[in-house]
Chains A and B, each alone.
Chain A
Amino acid sequence: MLEGKFETASTMKKVIEAIKDSVKLCNLNCSQNDGITVQAIDDSRVLLIALKLDPSCFQEFRCDKDLVLGLDLESLSKILRQGNPEDYLTLIAEDSPDSLLIVFEDSKKDRISEFSLKLMDIDSDVLTIDEMEHDCAITLPAAAFAKVARDMKTLSESLQILVTKDSVKFKADGSIGTGSVILRARTNLDDTKESILIDLNKPVNLTFGAKYLNDIVKATPLADTVTIKLTDKAPAMFEYKLQGGFLRYYLAPKFEDEEE
């Protein structure tokens, strides 16, 4: 039996909105110790999404037996849109479930709405992802990153990210022209969320598909800041911290044209 009650529905709503355009189907892995985890890769196999909702994310959480819930995210998102963000949201599943029960409670209006969503078998390999060493880590306001990603996409399909000791430069080189945005490291003591922190071991110069960055910034409503960890010739990690958990994206970089 799985029973996970969120104090508000907004987290789950935002999480699903953030990932449903990148992956259509995914498995929710539920266990008593880890809470709910998701690992999914987009169709073009360039972007990996890792979600973790610890038991502490929930007001109440119990999971007697480990469960894998295969879901169609588009359908789940349609159901989640039926509830208000401030409703209580409870996810319930039997021990060998054929559907997931989704319950919204509006305590003020004494309104309870209940939905069940059919589950399916989804083949997927769970990849092992460990803490990686990184050449640099940048923490910046999520909205600032979203703006850069969206703005630069209008110029080019690729976005180059160059990091030095005290600044991050985003560069787009497209057919209509070029553009660049520089964000300097700054500490805002009044509002730490507005700070831009750069932790640099080694300068980095990497290029990513702008389309994927635009998929990633759909998670912006989930957190005030985003942390980006970059390493040469390795996937970049974009992390949105949740209250007891995280939503991480791993994005494969583009490589320079190789002679075959």
Chain B
Amino acid sequence: MTEIENENDNEPAEIPEKYSETSLRLVSYNVNGIKTLKNYSPWNERPGYDDAFRYMKADVVTFQELKLQRSDIDASIANPSGYLSFITVPQSKKGYSGVGVFVRKPCSNEPDIIKQALTVRRAEEGITGFLHMRGARQSYRDCLSDDKYRERCIGGYPSLDDPVQGRHLDSEGRCIVLELGIGLVVISVYCPANSMCTVEGEDFRLLFLQCLFERAENLLRKGKQVVIMGDINVSPNLIDSDEYISDGFEKGTLIKPNEVSEFEAANREEVLKYKTCTESKGLLNGFTFDNTGLEEENRGHDKILHDVTRELQGRRMKMYTVWNTLKNNRPQNIGSRIDLFLATSGIASSAKGSDIWPFLYGSDHCPIYCDFDLESKAVKELAESSKYGTRCNCKHLDAKNYYCVGNSRSIDSFFRKPEKHAVEEEEEGHHTKKEKTTEHTIYVSRKRGSKEQSSLFGFFSVGKTARVESVTEVRTLDATSSSSLFVTEDEDGSDSEAAESHKKISVQEFRKLLQTASCSTIPLCRHHERCAFRTVKSSNSGNVGKKFWCCARRTKSETWDLSKDDGLRKADGGEALDEYNCGYFKWATK
């Protein structure tokens, strides 16, 4: 029920406050095409990417599957105000994959530890170190032994020694590695999914994961702490895969316990079997500490990573981060959890809050977040030992330089804003907006140096006011009563404003029209959602081939539920509208 309520609400659940002023919030979101994200609430109300980052209160945020080509990357994403941007896109496949990492630029009045944490000391593209460092004309690995560039390398490269294979592995824009000023290395990844299930695809995927975990292990040995965040494309535990559980119930390999909390204990064997049932799961779980509490000896010696969200959320069921959109699985929460924060012990111990944000739409995934307390002992020690030399060596990968966009100044900074005009003509409603723009202008000038900007203002002279006056004149002439110039203006002003707001529609409303215009004939089911169009397939009803509309959601029998109120629900009367198929049915008429 709650989910239906959520959907009707605009912003149902809130983005939680950060744990404390001195905590670092990491956010990961597989956006599945950053351009489409902007069609969804709340992102459509936030035109700039920086607005979206601030909305999530993110300090370091990574987006996967940007699906951008080099030519799509403009200042709005490569130089969002207040954030440093690092972007990797595939070298050949266009509009595929791609990872972006955005690091907030701290304000001067923030705690020192935050400033240190948000200093990006080093940045690398790719996981293997075989990609070329921009400007150095050699790979990161080679740069490590070059005095000139050594300072830019994060090191800890995996044992893979074939440069061709390494470059191939990193050719799809899947990984950005950042070293922050507190000695924390944040690896943002979009791991391969091998959705086509090919042998080569699986090899590629396993090699990528192997390199990823090896890199984390090597960095840990070098005294760093590591957080791997992103779309790992592997669900670590049985309770992270809805499909596997439904299958299990159907086949009878899993049993429904009396208490939800006993689910894993009751199915101990299956839970353990699941962890290594595919090579990729085995690989992930080989490096990740057990959190089911069922593994007999936690073979700690080769395990280095904690699945932070899971450890903080306990054995919560149906905590998923991705849903199959083709099957419309999200409303019933049939999904899996493959977006993870994997952290080494030191930093993992300082994690204070981590959760999924399933109320945020716009992709087939939802964002996940994690707050790390930087005041904790482990982080303090780490920060202290890394304090020496917190210099920023990341400029070569900074997206605004890398994609040569950042130094394009915004065009409106060259021209004068119509301030006089605004005072004279515009009404209060526009004032708030104006203030906002002024703020923006101040920001630009601060960054670019006011000298340059003010000198350019000399190019443009006053010219606008005259026209504005003529506008007012025309309006005055329109008025029939000659005595009431003041009233006329007033009336005109409020009239035009009011009339416009009544008659014209907002941009958002227009977008909504665009979305529904093409399907206005599609009936709505009892959830007030668009119906699915289906054809009768069963041959025993005599209606084979006939087409009909029905609720697009899944029926309840298609999924599983451990709570025992099945009987109760029926007692409520079958009429109650829940998150499952509402039973709407209508024959399609031609």
Contacts and interface: CB of A to CB of B under 8 A. Distances in A.
A126 B71 contact: no
A251 interface: yes
B145 to A, nearest CB: 24
A46 B74 contact: yes
Interface stretch (B292-300, B333-341, B405-413, B533-541): B405-413
Name, among A33, A44, A75, A254, the residue most crowded by chain B CB atoms within 10 Å (CB to CB): A44
A128 B407 contact: no
Interface residues of A, number: 52
Interface of B: 47, 70-71, 74-76, 401, 403-405, 407-418, 421-422, 430, 433, 437, 447-448, 452, 456, 459-464, 467, 470-471, 474-475, 478, 495-496, 499-501, 503-507, 509-510, 513-514
A1 interface: no
A242 to B, nearest CB: 21
Contacts of B513: 118
B501 A128 contact: no
A235 B411 contact: yes
Contact of A48 (B411, B452, B459): B411
Nearest to A231: B459
Given A126-B464, A129-B460, A254-B404, A121 B478 contact: no
A253 B408 contact: yes
Nearest to A70: B504
B408 A252 contact: yes
A72 B409 contact: no
A128 B418 contact: yes
Nearest to B73: A157
Given A122-B507, A127-B412, A46 B514 contact: no
Name, among B415, B418, B430, the residue most crowded by chain A CB atoms within 10 Å (CB to CB): B415
A48 B509 contact: no
Given A126-B418, A128-B460, A255-B408, A44 B503 contact: no
A110 interface: no
B423 to A, nearest CB: 13
Contacts of B415: 48, 127-129, 250
A48 B404 contact: no
Contacts of A43: 47, 74, 76
A120 B505 CA distance: 5
Contacts of A191: none
A250 B499 CA distance: 33
A19 to B, nearest CB: 14
A44 B510 contact: no
Interface string A153-185: 100011000000000000000000000000000
B468 to A, nearest CB: 10
Contacts of A153: 71
Contacts of A34: 467
A257 B474 contact: no
Contacts of B471: 31, 66
B500 A258 contact: no
10 contacts: A31-B471, A45-B76, A45-B412, A66-B471, A120-B509, A123-B433, A127-B412, A129-B460, A250-B414, A252-B413
Given A46-B410, A120-B509, A257-B407, 5 more contacts: A97-B503, A128-B415, A209-B405, A254-B405, A260-B447
Contact of B504 (A31, A48, A98): A98
Contact of B401 (A45, A231, A257): A257
A48 B412 contact: yes
Contacts of B70: 157
A45 B510 contact: no
Contacts of A158: 404
Given A121-B507, A127-B415, A66 B75 contact: no
A46 B404 CA distance: 13
A128 B462 CA distance: 8
Contacts of B407: 254-258
A128 B414 contact: no
A192 interface: no
A128 B505 CA distance: 27
